C-alpha cells in the first residue's frame, strides 16, 4: 500500500538495541498492513567520531536529508566528555535538527493505567500532556564562547528568539490543542528575561487566531513545582528549547519512567526525526536491559505524523499498552510479583500483541 524510506541512526550506548526493537516493530507493521519500509543506516554521534573523527559526517547527514523520515536511538557517553565542543556527539543531534529545519519537538507524557504504582507521585491519575518544545533556536543555537571577564575566564551562551520563531511553534501548539482538550500552557520567565517578554507577547498575539483554545502563562520555576504537585492539570505545554529540555524530563517521571517517553521532531513537511527522550545509558548498554518502549512509541509517532498511517500507529500503541496491562515490565518499571523482561523479550511481547 505504501513504500517509505527510513534512515536509522542507532547511535551510542543502548541506541542500537532500542532502534533494533523499533525496526522489528515497523517490519511487522509493514507485513500486517501491506507497507514496505526500507531502512538505510547512518552513523552519527560518538560512533561517527570514533570512526571518522567527526560526530556528523556529511554523508551521514545527507542520508537523513534524502529519507522520508529518520529514526534515532541515542548519542553520547562519558568517554566523549573531554572532547572540544564541536566534536561532541550531541553536536550531531543538533546538526541534524538544524539541517532538517525541525523546529517543533513533540514529547507526549501519558500515564498508562498499568503503571500507576510505578509513578513516584501519590494518587496519580489522568496524566496526559504534550510538551511542545521549540527545537532549533534559543540558547542552544545562540552565540557562545569563552572570554576574559571581571572574574577571570567566563563562558557565555546567548538566548535569543525572534518573533517568527515563536509564532510557528505557538501555532503548532494551538493546533495540537484543538485536537486534544483545548488548553495551552505557555512556559517562560517573563519576570526576568527579555527573551521571555517577547515570547509571551507573541504567544498572546497568536492566541487571538485560536479563540477556542484556553491559554495560560506559567513561569518556569512554578511550572516545575506544578508538574510535581498536579500534572493532570496540563494538556499542551509550549516553551523554548532550554526550558522544554528540562521540563520534559521532569514530565517523564510523572508517568513512571523516561524509558517509555517518545518524541517527534517535525517541521512544516511530513519528514521528521523520531527518537526516545532518554539518553544513551552506557552503563547498561549491551546487557539486554534497556526499555525499548520509548523508541517503539517513537516509531508509532512516525507512522502517524510522517506517513499518515494513524490506524497502524494506533495498533502499535495498543500493543504496547496490552503488554503493560498483562504485566510485562523492564527493569526500570519493575514491580513486586511481576517478571522483569529484557529488551528483546519486551519487544517479542509487543510484537505478539500487534
Q: Of residues 245, 274, 304, 332, which has the active-site annotation?
A: 245
Strand 2-11: give its sheet, edge to edge: 35-41, 2-11, 69-74, 273-276, 262-266, 104-110, 128-134, 236-239, 183-188, 214-219
Q: Which of 205, 221, 268, 326 is catalytic?
A: 221
Q: Are 242 and 318 in contact (CB under 8 A)?
A: no
3-state helix, strand, coil in the chain (%, to 5): 45, 20, 30
Residue 221 a catalytic site member: yes
**348 carries an active-site annotation:** no
The answer to whether residues 292 and 346 touch, using CB atoms and an 8 Å cutoff, is: yes
Task: Please give the grid coordinates belonging to residue 235.
Answer: 494538556
Contact 263, 106 (CB under 8 A): yes
- Give the whole-angstrom CA distance, residue 178 versus residue 247: 22
Q: Which of 128, 217, 230, 249 is catalytic?
A: 249
Question: Does residue 37 contact residue 1 with C-beta atoms inside 8 Å?
Answer: no
Adjacent-strand bridge partners of 155:
146
Cell numbers standing for residue 52: 571518522
Separation between Cα atoms, residue 173 and residue 133, nearest integer Å: 9
- Determine the Cα–Cα distance for residues 295 and 11; give it in Å rounded to an integer: 13
Q: Which of 49, 68, 110, 189 is catalytic?
A: 189
Strands 35-41, 69-74: pairing is unpaired
How far is the C-alpha of 219 from the C-alpha of 56, rounded, in Å? 36
CA-closest candidate to residue 106, choices 300, 323, 310: 300
Look at the chain and count its residues.
354
DSSP 8-class letter at 208 = T
**Catalytic residue (one of 80, 140, 210, 305):** 140
Distances in Å between the Cα of 84 and the Cα atoms of 55, 80, 87, 148 are 11, 9, 5, 19
Residue 122 is a catalytic residue: no
322 tagged catalytic: no
Specify the pairing of strand 262-266 against strand 104-110: antiparallel
Contact 61, 72 (CB under 8 A): no
Tell me whether residue 249 is one of the annotated catalytic residues.
yes
* Catalytic residue IDs: 140, 189, 221, 245, 249
Amino acid at each position: 500500500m505504501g513504500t517509505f524510506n527510513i534512515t536509522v541512526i542507532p547511535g551510542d550506548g543502548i541506541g542500537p538495541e532500542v532502534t533494533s526493537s523499533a525496526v522489528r516493530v515497523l517490519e511487522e507493521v509493514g507485513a500486517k498492513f501491506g507497507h514496505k519500509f526500507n531502512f538505510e543506516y547512518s552513523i552519527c554521534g560518538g560512533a561517527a567520531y570514533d570512526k571518522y573523527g567527526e560526530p556528523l559526517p556529511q554523508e551521514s547527514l545527507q542520508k537523513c536529508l534524502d529519507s522520508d523520515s529518520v529514526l534515532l536511538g541515542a548519542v553520547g557517553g562519558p568517554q566523549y566528555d573531554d572532547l572540544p565542543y564541536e566534536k561532541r556527539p550531541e553536536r550531531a543531534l543538533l546538526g541534524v535538527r538544524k539541517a532538517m529545519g525541525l523546529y517543533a519537538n513533540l514529547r507526549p507524557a501519558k500515564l498508562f493505567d498499568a503503571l500507576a504504582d510505578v509513578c513516584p507521585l501519590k494518587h496519580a491519575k489522568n496524566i496526559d500532556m504534550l510538551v511542545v518544545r521549540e527545537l532549533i533556536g534559543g540558547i542552544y543555537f545562540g552565540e557562545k564562547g569563552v572570554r576574559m571577564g571581571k572574574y577571570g575566564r567566563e563562558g557565555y551562551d546567548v538566548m535569543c528568539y525572534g518573533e517568527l520563531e515563536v509564532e510557528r511553534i505557538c501555532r503548532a501548539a494551538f493546533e495540537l490543542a484543538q485536537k486534544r482538550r483545548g488548553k495551552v500552557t505557555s512556559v517562560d520567565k517573563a519576570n526576568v528575561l527579555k527573551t521571555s517578554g517577547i515570547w509571551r507577547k507573541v504567544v498572546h498575539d497568536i492566541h487571538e487566531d485560536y479563540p477556542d483554545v484556553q491559554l495560560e502563562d506559567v513561569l518556569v520555576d512554578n511550572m516545575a513545582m506544578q508538574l510535581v504537585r498536579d500534572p493532570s492539570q496540563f494538556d499542551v505545554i509550549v516553551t523554548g528549547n532550554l526550558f522544554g529540555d528540562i521540563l520534559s524530563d521532569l514530565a517523564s517521571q510523572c508517568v513512571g519512567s523516561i524509558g517509555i517517553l517518545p518524541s517527534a521532531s517535525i517541521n512544516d513537511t511530513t519528514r521528521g526525526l523520531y527518537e526516545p527522550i532518554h539518553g544513551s545509558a552506557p552503563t547498561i548498554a549491551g546487557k539486554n536491559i534497556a526499555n525499548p518502549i520509548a523508541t517503539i512509541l517513537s516509531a508509532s509517532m512516525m507512522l502517524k505524523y510522517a506517513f499518515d498511517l494513524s490506524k497502524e500507529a494506533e495498533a502499535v500503541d495498543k500493543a504496547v499498552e496490552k503488554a503493560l496491562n498483562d504485566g510485562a515490565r523492564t527493569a526500570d518499571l519493575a514491580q513486586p510479583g511481576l517478571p522483569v523482561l529484557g529488551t528483546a523479550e519486551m519487544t517479542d511481547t509487543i510484537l505478539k500483541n500487534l
